[in-house]
Structure 1
């Protein structure tokens, strides 16, 4: 077989070569020798722009214009794509990257990568020259040796090391020469056979490499709903043939809404229990399973087709999933994965999980359960549990998304698993190829499937015929609402269109600081919105900024997506940004002492997701860096120092009861047994505002340390709150609580999908 390349210099028809790689254009794909490198379409299009520039800088705007022309995306999309490309390409011999970052301009191909085969590989021309030279040398050597074999040896007293065959001839005499010729012929024949075999294997590999492995593809997308209803993005969609069940909330009441796949709402089913959400379906007979995801003690409720509701006796937990044969229930309770029969009996522990978990999903064959564990902040991971023996296996180990993934769903044939990559400020849908031995053909079995134009994609589920994918797309926007006492609320006079997760006012009244939602970056500005400056580092998520008493510094929570929360400090001019804590243990919100020389903080134990290690409040001296445990704070977190310095308010881990330390007496007391979500002091230190978790008594409350009195300040049942979970409270300079109310939308989308 002869391969003919129509080439001119280093450029071939529809081919660009750089280093050991070849970028083909029809179809667009990347090869290293005979191996096809598995890349997504956007990764390939990004690489094509860089390679076509031949070392010139490609501006960031160019990538958005060409690669993401039909989507609204942020810099993080491009950064992540470049990261994955660098991972696929590997390193240059000098340790550098193939793709270089040019600060504030864009990206380019490294100069040393411009020359084909310049990264430690021999070029084809060099190989051909070397082979020709080697052949000539071998021919000459064979001729010389054969000639020498027919002559008497010179210097008989010395050992002849020219050839083993010459030694045999000397020992056996001239008559052995014919045997040597036979031996030489056999050796050459064996060598020829080996070379032929290697050539055949190489051609087989070349043909295999030229077989294009089809990838899952989105064919088109369409909005299923467009009604503006508040849909839960943290609970699964339930699919029953051509009908979708969606958890919705109206005036703080929960419903399971039934839609057909064309988006027509058929009916709304009220939750049979307070705080209950639809979690799973049983078909024979037809029943809906409800539970309270944030309360492991709440029993699961079964709602029959006739409307009758009953509890599953003795079975409670956060969430539940029904096995494919509907004989077994998988229940998550705390860190336990439990199995029970469909009546709730024969309860047993299948596995102890590394952290609190949610979103269990059975494999179609019923042999595996996959679920998401939450480590207390934005660290979420996917785990696979073998139902036969309870063994746990983490998924995506070594992937850049290992700790930012959640909420998976299988295709009905078990060949694919779709999941969410949640980076805090945005999320996208990815798909994992589960076909047996697929890694023999492609290196990367995961690919991004859906990204943008909405901020967050959640709750993916694939139809039974594997032709459609459904998911909830969430446009994350909010508006800051100032709450007055009672039922009503009025908009606080803050910068217009400010969608901020938390906002805080400096004590001198000259500044505000806030974290953008959903961007997660920290900014400061004047109260009228002027003189705006970003204080946080790029790529960091931030929360809960707190001003120092002299209004010169801020402390706040900071984290790289997928890592633990730390505490950072920034100056008001943005010239100084530093970390006060390390990633060794997740740090909660920091709060200044009245003189600004110390900060107090607890561990990040929001929603009870941190279950390991000691829990207490730490006091840190900002000048010396010394730390000490606050006396009597064992088991407490969520610390808040009163502005006048007299009190420390905190919540009890587990019960979330509100506790108060009076520094004058050194005594801790309980202000309320209610389950507190967040708390904040009024500027005059006379009131602690707190909000409760969703439930019958959902509201904003005011506690008065001087009297111990607690009263409901605002009934929050009709508030549509939003923000990064858990929701945060803010307070105005005149002492009114502020919350972020939802101004975005959540709708169900359908994607026609090709799963090869």
Structure 2
């Protein structure tokens, strides 16, 4: 960053403020994500408002001679990022004017001074001082004639008192902070804290199946809460803390039946005919708010008489939080087609739908917000500062002098990544589920019936082997970077770097390329191709719709993939010709996903909408065949090298397993019982694979995945 020791502590222009010492840029008090060379360029321009700053000057200060980059491209990119942050237009600029073939000039007013005058200009400072003293010299005698000195003292005293009172009323208390952190659980199982009754914490636990467990707020071992469901999740607790709002389900259906589960034990009771996802009861216990598809509903507390409040653009999900006074509801909206996640607010009557943090981060990645019991603060999670999700808070509006929420305060900075938040009833503790990721790659040995380390037990998964069996591609955890190496682990090469979040790699038949999906937060999933020797990834198909699950044709000329076409209400399976870039849709594939092309090219395996059924498309007959149905969720399809079998997981069932199905048969074969294996849960879920000899591969979970109590200071 440029030397800024001689600059004012704050530079104001338009609706923006810049601290030249830290490089922090704010818009209407909200922090703007901008750093590096764009900030350095802005400081140089603000040092000389109204004057030309040449490209040569910028190169000398920001791109020294020993910097081996393309200066012209680097400067142009930096200026684009700076103008985007300032909402400025190169054609009709408000702040930064381009001087063709020379450089740039700042044309806006800085700290109230218009362009052409610098705050460091001695003549300007002297002119201001002389002008001010002259005015006072002329005005003084007139005031002396009009008022006696006693009146002057009285007026000045009143003004001073009023000013001090206003400053005290409008001043902000110090930010909230974490005083201490205590780990409460120690089992390493993936979990989300959902609610507390003041003595126990209630948790959704992701083990072999999804279940609801409880633990003392002082910590200790968790114990399950019995339910009749194969899989159960909790969403919240009633205001009188006597029942949990729960959902029971079997597979990956998007909407569930909602139930009330008595505490400390008892049989669940169906809440009317409600079917949806996520929800909560109102603070007065009279109403139930829940989501279904893109709609927000409100019903009576027992689930009867549901009515739609509104429909949103995207999918409402996650924690539903009422303000303590019951006048506002906040929740997360995931943008259409896996767009950005942001926190929104609505009134209980369905009115006044609006984002809570507009323009704070771009793209927004904020979710899981909860109010403090007294309503003074709102805590939430955000990915604004990689490498993971941290806890943030805003101070809520309070009174005449604080009509707007404060700028968000960051309370944690890693290394733990936080997932869900719950306040204690007295507001002194924040209970949070948090994780520090690590996995161990293992192979199942059928002789010893043990899981043994593979590739030295690296923290990785999603392995795919080249057709000749010499190379392997994999994704490292938790970095989500793509690597390739020989099968013995030698000749390792990292192929992707952040911000790319890589998944599901697939080798081309000639081993020259690898297809993979990039699933960055806040952006649609996109499929990319990259050389196995490294280089720049390139889009398989330039479009804004999500793509996933790429699978190569045996001749390497085509790729089949799952796709959400523009205007479609469901995904389909498409095939792209890599030479012509022509895209076609596989007949009858609407609602299907996870395609896998057989090595002989005759079949395409896929899953139905809720991943409970394996289907087979025959390219000769151009028809789909219902092949295998499982009681749980089917996933991670892999063909054997000879094309005789499809290997897959069956999860979210009482007996999770790794299985295979033979083409031509209608039943599957159990290969590995997965009960008791604590599997690593990646952003794409549980992942498995097979080696060239058919051995099963998994990633064992070695993460720290626990519940913590954060003691807070809330001024």
**Which bin holds the TM-score, normalised by the shorter protein?**
0.7 to 0.9
From 257, 282, 285, the equivalent of 1:323 is 282
In structure 1, C-alpha distance between the alignment counterparts of 2:697 and 2:400, rounded to whole Å: 52
- Which deviates more from structure 2 when the two are superposed, residues 555-564 or residues 419-428? 419-428
Q: Alpha carbons of 1:660 and 1:214: their partners in 2 closer, same or farther (altered >3 Å)?
A: same
In structure 2, C-alpha distance between the alignment counterparts of 1:434 and 1:507, rounded to whole Å: 58
1:247 aligns to 2:204 (yes or no): yes
From 398, 401, 418, the equivalent of 2:359 is 398
In structure 1, C-alpha distance between the alignment counterparts of 2:400 and 2:419, rounded to whole Å: 27
Q: Alpha carbons of 1:337 and 1:127: their partners in 2 closer, same or farther (altered >3 Å)?
A: same
What residue in structure 1 maps to residue 66 of structure 2?
Answer: none
What residue in structure 2 maps to residue 129 of structure 1?
Answer: 126
State the SS of the aligned residue for 1:712.
strand
1:458 aligns to 2:458 (yes or no): no
In structure 2, C-alpha distance between the alignment counterparts of 1:581 and 1:121, rounded to whole Å: 51
From 285, 299, 322, the equivalent of 1:340 is 299
In structure 2, C-alpha distance between the alignment counterparts of 1:460 and 1:281, rounded to whole Å: 14
State the SS of the aligned residue for 1:128.
helix
What residue in structure 1 maps to residue 410 of structure 2?
Answer: 448
1:690 aligns to 2:644 (yes or no): no
In structure 2, C-alpha distance between the alignment counterparts of 1:611 and 1:237, rounded to whole Å: 36
Deviations 1:100-137 (A, max 9, x none): xxxxxxxxxx999xx99997653264433334787999
In structure 1, C-alpha distance between the alignment counterparts of 2:489 and 2:328, rounded to whole Å: 53
State the SS of the aligned residue for 1:735.
coil
Aligned partners of 2:4 and 2:20 also within 8 Å: no
What residue in structure 2 maps to residue 256 of structure 1?
Answer: 213
In structure 1, C-alpha distance between the alignment counterparts of 2:85 and 2:411, rounded to whole Å: 19
1:564 aligns to 2:524 (yes or no): yes
In structure 2, C-alpha distance between the alignment counterparts of 1:29 and 1:217, rounded to whole Å: 23
Aligned partners of 2:247 and 2:256 also within 8 Å: no
In structure 1, C-alpha distance between the alignment counterparts of 2:523 and 2:400, rounded to whole Å: 31
Q: CA shift at 1:565, angstroms?
A: 0.8
- Which deviates more from structure 2 when the two are superposed, residues 641-650 or residues 308-317? 308-317
Q: CA shift at 1:459, angstroms?
A: 0.8
In structure 1, C-alpha distance between the alignment counterparts of 2:279 and 2:117, rounded to whole Å: 55
State the SS of the aligned residue for 2:682.
coil
1:426 aligns to 2:385 (yes or no): no
Q: Alpha carbons of 1:677 and 1:358: their partners in 2 closer, same or farther (altered >3 Å)?
A: farther
Q: Alpha carbons of 1:283 and 1:488: their partners in 2 closer, same or farther (altered >3 Å)?
A: farther
Deviations 1:709-750 (A, max 9, x none): 323333333222222233333221112332222111212222
In structure 2, C-alpha distance between the alignment counterparts of 1:643 and 1:426, rounded to whole Å: 39
Q: What's the TM-score, normalizing by structure 2?
A: 0.76
Aligned partners of 2:628 and 2:668 also within 8 Å: yes
Aligned partners of 2:445 and 2:451 also within 8 Å: yes
State the SS of the aligned residue for 1:733.
coil
CA RMSD in angstroms, aligned pairs only: 4.7
Q: CA shift at 1:351, angstroms?
A: 2.6
Q: Alpha carbons of 1:300 and 1:353: their partners in 2 closer, same or farther (altered >3 Å)?
A: farther
Aligned residues: 634
Q: Alpha carbons of 1:93 and 1:310: their partners in 2 closer, same or farther (altered >3 Å)?
A: closer
In structure 1, C-alpha distance between the alignment counterparts of 2:663 and 2:531, rounded to whole Å: 32
Aligned partners of 1:252 and 1:717 also within 8 Å: no
Deviations 1:199-241 (A, max 9, x none): x99x9799959976334332422223242241413xx431222
Task: Note the 1:373-522 alignment, pairs <5 A.
Answer: 373-374=333-334, 375=336, 377=338, 379-390=340-351, 392-400=353-361, 402-422=363-383, 426-436=388-398, 445-454=407-416, 456-483=417-444, 488-491=449-452, 493-494=454-455, 496-522=456-482
Aligned partners of 1:221 and 1:749 also within 8 Å: no
State the SS of the aligned residue for 2:125.
helix
Q: What's the TM-score, normalizing by structure 1?
A: 0.72
Deviations 1:679-718 (A, max 9, x none): 2222221111222341335332312223333233333332
Task: Note the 1:605-684 alignment, pairs <5 A.
Answer: 612-654=568-610, 656-674=612-630, 675-684=633-642
Q: CA shift at 1:572, angstroms?
A: 1.0
Q: CA shift at 1:376, angstroms?
A: 5.4
Aligned partners of 2:186 and 2:221 also within 8 Å: no
Q: Alpha carbons of 1:604 and 1:532: their partners in 2 closer, same or farther (altered >3 Å)?
A: farther
Deviations 1:390-413 (A, max 9, x none): 553234333325542221111122
Aligned partners of 2:178 and 2:411 also within 8 Å: no
What residue in structure 2 maps to residue 300 of structure 1?
Answer: 259
Q: CA shift at 1:11, angstroms?
A: 5.6
What residue in structure 2 maps to residue 723 of structure 1?
Answer: 682
> Which 5+ residue runs of structure 2 have no aligned equivalent?
48-59, 64-80, 99-104, 147-154
Q: CA shift at 1:421, angstroms?
A: 1.7
- Which deviates more from structure 2 when the two are superposed, residues 246-255 or residues 711-720? 246-255
